Amino acid sequence: MVAVEGTVHRSERANRGVELIPTAVEVIVRAEVPLPLGIVDKVGAELDTRLNHRVLDLRKPAVRAVFELRSSLLAGFRDAFIRRGFLEVETPKLLRQGAEGGATLFAVDYFDGRAYLAQSPQLYKQMLIGAGLERVFEIAPAFRAEPSDTVRHITEFASLDGEMGFIDSVEDVRNALEGIVTDAFITTKKDLAGRGNALAERIPEPKTPFPRIPFAKCVEWLGRPGSEEDLGTEDEKAIGEHVDREFGVPLYFITDYPTAIKAGTFYAQRQDTNPRLTYYFDLDFRGLEIASGGAREHRLDRLKANIESAGFDPEKFSGYLEAFRFGMPPHGGWGLGVDRVVQVLAGLPNIREARLFPRDRYRLDP
């Protein structure tokens, strides 16, 4: 690391059009040699090597550019929420009970007992609707013990959650989400262009409304009409390609998820006219799920019945259920994976590159 004093001259030859002619050079600290990773490496080191030496890796302008995008995107999201009257909240990450129980909970020692890391702020943001906060959002880590080694799953991710009360229907939720995403993309694009960040060009300026494609239509496209099986990675990709051909847009909703798929999601509201379907949707971006959301069940008796049929004991959810005993309006919301959005926007092959210090099954360092 050096400090250089000198005068700046215009220069045709220099990349940035200026050259520094030094008058004094001071060595502040010496780096160890050889470096484990080239700062200007044309070949591109393996991702594992890069992540093992992340501090050096982050010094590369192209890597830094991703985190400028991320910072700008988060600012854009916050701004879009606040302009729509959402209140920023923080909910506990140490829980006695997971939102949906299940295999992806991390247990931690908690004094003489056991606690769990939050997989999502789901139950708390609903409780805040019951508390009269009406529109809330949170951007915070969520933890999932995902055993599968994929390029779109990590064990600690940034979840961007919105929840809104007094909705007329799930359409209100989709309208808010598509508006917030669109606004955030547009401000991020502008901000990055202003800083000369080349990633600005990759950011689409979406047009609302995004297409809304019923789940049933998607499985028809996939050649398995009537299927109530969840969509896999390859299915999502194929749907993304179909949407690109038919609508030429990057962002779209997959709506009306079958109840069979959402059975464990006890807070998902079943449709009035057809209980085989829920008012649940995904938002996908170029063939990758980036958000899931919907209208929630706000009627206590039905919610309890859903909890039981999902195989849970309503007693264990008494704190949550209390919020429904004294007046809960119709409400809905979503959880969106910030890291996945950064991954697609920056064109990163692996979600790990969208986080400064990613965590997965094998990586807790650095």
* Alpha-carbon span 102 to 95, nearest angstrom: 14
Q: Is 197 near Mg ion (CB under 5 A)? A: no
| One-letter amino acid of 147 | P
Q: Which of 27-35, 72-80, 286-294, 305-313 is the region at the interface with Mg ion (rule: CB under 5 A)? A: 286-294
Q: How far is the CB of 78 from ligand ATP (least distance, A)?
A: 18
- Cα separation of the two ends of the chain: 22
Q: Is 287 near ligand ATP (CB under 6 A)? A: no
Q: How far is the CB of 38 from ligand ATP (least distance, A)?
A: 29
Angle (CA) 156-161-165 rounded to 5° is: 155
Q: How far is the CB of 365 from ligand ATP (least distance, A)?
A: 19
Q: Which of 77-85, 190-198, 268-276, 330-338 is the region at the interface with ligand ATP (rule: CB under 6 A)? A: 330-338
Residue 296: active-site member:
no
Residue 46: active-site member:
no
What is 124-137 written as a DSSP string? HHHHHHHTT--EEE
Helix (H) / strand (E) element for 2: namely strand 2-10
Q: Which two tokens stand for residue 179?
A: 């508006």
Report the site for Mg ion in 288-317 (rule: CB under 5 A). 292
Phi, psi (rounded to 5 degrees) for 108: -130, 150
Residue 144: active-site member:
yes
Among 123, 154, 303, 328, binds ligand ATP (CB under 6 A): 154
Count of residues of this chain found to bind ligand ATP when the rule CB under 6 A is applied: 16
Q: Is 174 near ligand ATP (CB under 6 A)? A: no
Among 292, 303, 321, 345, binds ligand ATP (CB under 6 A): 292
Picked from Mg ion, ligand ATP, none, the partner binding residue 164 (CB below 5 to 8 A depending on kind) is none
The helix/strand/coil state of 26 is strand
Q: Is 291 near ligand ATP (CB under 6 A)? A: yes
Report the site for Mg ion in 264-283 (rule: CB under 5 A). none
Q: Is 146 near ligand ATP (CB under 6 A)? A: yes
Nearer to ligand ATP by C-beta: 233 or 274? 233
Class of residue 89 by CB neighbours under 10 A (exposed 0-12, middle 13-18, buried 19+): middle
Q: Which of 54-62, 132-140, 151-159, 168-176 is the region at the interface with ligand ATP (rule: CB under 6 A)? A: 151-159
Q: Let me know: does 174 contact 281? Beta carbons within 8 Å.
A: yes
Nearer to ligand ATP by C-beta: 159 or 187? 159
Q: Which of 29-37, 168-176, 319-327, 332-340 is the region at the interface with ligand ATP (rule: CB under 6 A)? A: 332-340
Catalytic residue among 70, 153, 298, 355: 153
* Alpha-carbon span 208 to 221, nearest angstrom: 23
Class of residue 161 by CB neighbours under 10 A (exposed 0-12, middle 13-18, buried 19+): buried
Residue 309: active-site member:
no
What is 188-218 written as a DSSP string? HHHHHHHTT-GGGGG-----SSPPEEEHHHH
Hey, which residues does 164 pair with through a beta bridge?
A: 135, 332
* Alpha-carbon span 219 to 277, nearest angstrom: 14
Count the neighbouring beta carbons within 10 Å of the beta carbon of residue 299: 13
Nearer to Mg ion by C-beta: 100 or 156? 100
Q: How far is the CB of 140 from ligand ATP (least distance, A)?
A: 12
Residue 83: active-site member:
no
| One-letter amino acid of 7 | T
Q: Is 339 near ligand ATP (CB under 6 A)? A: yes
* Alpha-carbon span 12 to 169, nearest angstrom: 60
Q: Which residues make up the interface to Mg ion (CB under 5 A)?
A: 292
Q: Which residues make up the interface to ligand ATP (CB under 6 A)?
A: 144, 146, 153-154, 157, 159, 289-292, 335-337, 339-340, 351
- Name the residues annotated as catalytic: 144, 146, 152-153, 289, 292, 340
